[in-house]
Amino acid sequence: MAKLFFPSTLFRAVIPVTAALLLLNACGKSDDGTDNNGNSTDEFKKEMLVNYADNIIQPGYVQLKTSLADLKTKVAVLLSAPSASTQANVKPSFQAAYQAFEAVSLPYFGPAAAQMLNNTLNTFPPGISKIESGIASGNYDLTLPITSDSLQGFPALDYLIFGEGAVDKLADPVSGQNRKQYINDVLERMQLLTDNTINQWAAGYRNTFINSLKTDVGSSIGFLINQLAFEMDALKGPRIGWPFGKQSNGIVFADKAEGYYSAISKELAVANLNAVKQYYTGGSAKGIDDYLDLLGKTTLNDDVLAQFTVAINALQAIPAPLSAAFTGSPATVEAAYKEIQKLLTLLKTDVASATGVQINYMDNDGD
């Protein structure tokens, strides 16, 4: 992620607290009872967190696991007999698995962060020259943390299975063997980290997650709201804005989009934003939206919900594939970009402020 920093956000949050503290402490009394625990919203918060853990996050990882298993079966058929038809046969499973990942991209904290799941599964664009040299030499280590170019995950599969001449390269009797091995290694690592994440949630993190009822840094609600903002930043930046040329004076880099080779960038973006909305609403049960209502911020909640609808519609209005729309239909991309920006501001500034959560996921330290 690029450096993203909005000083006004932090500033707004600090002023009222500072003033209030001074009034409270004017006669040098030490503050007691500022702990967020033990207040009347605890029961609600706990039910909300149980809903997130049991109905959204953990089932989301299980869905990813199932989809990856299906993908592996389809890929095995492709690898045993590379052809246009076995390749086409992989695509629906690839898209389903990638979309299943979009549904768990948001809870990148706790077990997923400890496994570096997102970093491994979806750092894009893929580092093509490194992937090719790894395949050629047979010398690569997928356990190293990804620092810049990604060797693995969905972006690598996207390139290796759907890139130009992919079928021919797989069919090559000599170099094809290494390539097949590489694809299998990538898939196995994706499955391993997904399994580890599922197991860590079940083994104890669920309990930690649902019992963290504060909103301070490192709390479950703090994580959720930070990640709502983070995903919106990622949608505005790497998923849409950067390939669209927002960081390059309007010069389009379509091949840097997520899922470029399989041409599913738009579907992934829509799946991502739908997932963000689900994490905001908590599905049909208690979520951040209800929490805002409970805090008396109903107008803000209404605004956010309305903006989700506007932004999702604007994304849907882009003609597929997104990579072609960057140059073929820039006005629709621009419109979606603007609505995403508005939603980002609402979540990162207004919702964070209303819930008393500090946004601090980014590496914004200037020193």
Partner 1 sequence: MRLNGMLALVSGALLTLSSCSSDDGPVTPDYTVPATYDFAQVNNTDAVARVSMWAGFTSWLGKGASRELNSDTANYLWNNTNTAFTAEIAGNLPYKYDALNTMTISLATEVADATQFKAYADSMVNLSEFYATPAAPGIAGKIGNRLVNHSGLEFNQAVAKGLMGALVLKNVYQLLDKVPTDDNTLTSGAPSEMQQDWDLAFGYIGVPKNYDTAFNYSTAPVPADRPLAIGGYFGERGKYIQAGGRVFEAFRTGRAAIGAKDYSTRDQAISTIKEYTEKTLAAAAYYYLTASQTQSDLAAKFHSLSEGYGFVLALKYRAAGSKLTATQYTRLKEILETPFYDLAADANNTDLKEAAQIFTTAYGQLQP
Q: Which of 12, 6, 101 is nearest to 63 (CA)?
A: 101
By CB neighbour count within 10 A (0-12 exposed, 13-18 middle, 19+ buried), where does 32 fall? Answer: exposed
Query: How many CA atoms within 13 Å lie on the side-chain side of 249?
Result: 0
C-alpha distances (whole Å) from 269 to each of 260, 272, 311, 323 are 12, 5, 11, 12
Residue 343-362 contact track with partner 1, rule CB under 8 A, x = bound:
---------------x-xxx
* Nearest residue (CB) to partner 1, 201 versus 337: 201
Quickly list DSSP for 311-343.
HHHHHHTSPSPHHHHHHHSHHHHHHHHHHHHHH
- Count residues binding partner 1 (CB under 8 A): 52
| Contact between 152 and 120 (Cβ < 8 Å) | yes
* Nearest residue (CB) to partner 1, 80 versus 137: 137
Residue 2 interacting with partner 1 (CB under 8 A): no
Q: Supply the angle between the helices 84-102 and 153-162 in degrees, to the nearest 10.
A: 160
Residue 9 interacting with partner 1 (CB under 8 A): no
* Nearest residue (CB) to partner 1, 173 versus 366: 366
Residue 202 interacting with partner 1 (CB under 8 A): no
Residue 136 interacting with partner 1 (CB under 8 A): no
Instruction: Quote the least distance from Cβ 160 to partner 1, whole Å.
Output: 21
Three-state SS for 150? strand
Instruction: Quote the least distance from Cβ 18 to partner 1, whole Å.
Output: 7
Binder of partner 1 out of 119, 122, 194, 353 (CB under 8 A):
119
Instruction: Quote the least distance from Cβ 89 to partner 1, whole Å.
Output: 34
Backbone angles phi, psi at 2, to 5 degrees: -75, 170
Q: Cα 155 to chain center, whole Å?
A: 14
Binder of partner 1 out of 226, 265, 301, 353 (CB under 8 A):
226
Instruction: Quote the least distance from Cβ 248 to partner 1, whole Å.
Output: 19
Residue 128 interacting with partner 1 (CB under 8 A): no
Residue 211 interacting with partner 1 (CB under 8 A): no
Instruction: Quote the least distance from Cβ 352 to partner 1, whole Å.
Output: 12
Quickly list DSSP for 58-123.
HHHHHHHHHHHHHHHHHHHHHHHS--HHHHHHHHHHHHHHHHHHHTTSS--SHHHHHHTHHHHH--
| Contact between 252 and 245 (Cβ < 8 Å) | yes
∠ CA(92), CA(96), CA(102), 5° rounding? 145
Instruction: Quote the least distance from Cβ 363 to partner 1, whole Å.
Output: 3
Binder of partner 1 out of 37, 137, 164, 365 (CB under 8 A):
365
Binder of partner 1 out of 22, 84, 174, 251 (CB under 8 A):
22
The residues binding partner 1 (CB under 8 A) are 1, 7, 13-15, 17-19, 21-23, 25-28, 30-31, 34, 108-116, 118-119, 141, 144-145, 147-148, 200, 204-205, 208, 216-218, 222-223, 226, 358, 360-363, 365-367
